[in-house]
Amino acid sequence: MNARLHRCGEHAVLVELDRLEEVVALYDALAADPPRGIVDIVPAARTLLVRFEPPARHNEVESAVLAVRPAGGRLATSEEVVIPVEYDGDDLADVARLTGLTEREVVAAHTGTAWTVAFCGFAPGFGYLIGGDPRLAVPRRPESRVRVPTGSVGLAGEFSGVYPRESPGGWQLIGRTETVVWDIAADPPALLRPGVRVRFAEAM
């Protein structure tokens, strides 16, 4: 693991890695046994932001991060959720055109493999899912939509995701689900947390 450390203000270190799988493995190891003083870890596509509080200092947090030996490459969680999807998204035809697949083949590819939540971002409970069929990699839409409805299922780059609530968004929308992925009354409030495995199923 080739970790590059960048100090980020007085109380955070940005850990940069080469691959998302390394981010996920390091996140799992740090979250399972957080070194002293660490109060928040934000995993992202190639980085982990490690926030700490005094009396912890940069030097000791950096040493602690470098001393972690992530287990395996994959996530250890056994949790799996099934998300039923109506594949009638506004961009399904565009995704078919961009991937060279038929619309039915897009649906088959999206439901054909298990995805894993790599990290959350953009909005509370918005999980970035990885590990899907590589043929589904598509660019974001050239222009963002002002309003993407709650439950929209989208694709962008190597990721798939479910919009937790109505918001602006630029992902290619292939369908929508009734499954609630963000509920502040629930504990935990997010269904799609880092490490959770996801299977999409076509809603009948």
Partner 1 sequence: MSELRRALVVLAPGPLTTVQDLGRRRHSHLGVGRSGAADRGALRLANRLLANPEDAACLEVTLGGLKVRATGDLLVTLTGAPCPATVTYPDGRTGGIGHASVERLPDGATLRLGVPPRGLRTYLAVRGGIDVPEVLGSRATDLLSGLGPERPAPGSVLPVGPAPAEFPAADLAPVPEPESGVLILDVLPGPRHDWFAPGALTALCAEPYEVTAQSDRVGMRLRGPRLERARDGELPSEGMVPGALQVPPSGQPTLFLADHPVTGGYPVIAVVRDHHIDRAAQARPGQRIRFRVAGDHRPIRPRRP
Residues that bind partner 1 (CB under 8 A): 6-12, 14, 27, 31, 39-49, 51, 58, 119-126, 165, 184, 188-190, 193-194
Q: Which is nearer to partner 1, 12 or 106 (CB)?
A: 12
CB within 8 Å of 97: residues ≥ 6 apart: none
| Half-sphere exposure in the Cβ direction for 123 (13 Å, CA) | 16
Identify whether the C-beta of residue 63 lies closer than 8 Å to the C-beta of residue 83. no
Smallest gap, in angstroms, from Cβ of residue 86 to partner 1? 24
Smallest gap, in angstroms, from Cβ of residue 10 to partner 1? 5
- In one-letter notation, the amino acid at residue 118 is A
Smallest gap, in angstroms, from Cβ of residue 54 to partner 1? 9
How distant is the alpha carbon of residue 1 from its chain centre? 21
Q: Which is nearer to partner 1, 14 or 203 (CB)?
A: 14
Query: Of the candidates 25, 16, 194, which has an alpha carbon nearest to the alpha carbon of residue 120?
Result: 194
Q: Which is nearer to partner 1, 92 or 195 (CB)?
A: 195
Identify whether the C-beta of residue 115 lies closer than 8 Å to the C-beta of residue 137. no
Q: Which is nearer to partner 1, 96 or 138 (CB)?
A: 138
Smallest gap, in angstroms, from Cβ of residue 39 to partner 1? 6
